[in-house]
Amino acid sequence: MQTQKSYRITLYREVNHKIRYYKLSLMLNLFGEFIFSKEYGSLKRPKPTRVIEEYYKSYKEAYTHLQSKLQQKYKKGYKECINER
C-alpha cells in the first residue's frame, strides 16, 4: 500500500481592511477514511468562524475536492501564506 501525503494550506486575503484566512487540510484517519477540513475566519477573532470536516473513502476523491476548493479561493483573491506558524 502506498502512503499518501497529508496537506495543510493556509490562504489569506484582505476584505474591507480586515484580514480573512482560510485553512484547508487533508489527512488520513485511523479508519482509513480521508478527512478534508476547512477552517476560516478573521485574524481579529481568537476562534475560527467555522470549521467543516468532510469524509471521503478514496484519496483521489478527497484530493480532487481539495484542488477544486483551492481554485475557487484563488479566483476570489486568496493567496498562500508564506510564513505559516
24 and 69 Cβ atoms separated by less than 8 Å? yes
Q: Each residue of 4-59: pLDDT tens digit?
A: 578 899 999 998 899 999 999 999 998 889 999 999 999 888 899 999 999 999 99
Q: Decide if pLDDT at 63 tops 70.
A: yes
CA 14/CA 81 separation, integer angstroms: 12
Measured CA to CA in angstroms, residue 52 lies from 25, 31, 47, 67 at distances of 11, 19, 14, 16
69 and 38 Cβ atoms separated by less than 8 Å? yes
pLDDT top residue among 70 and 3 = 70
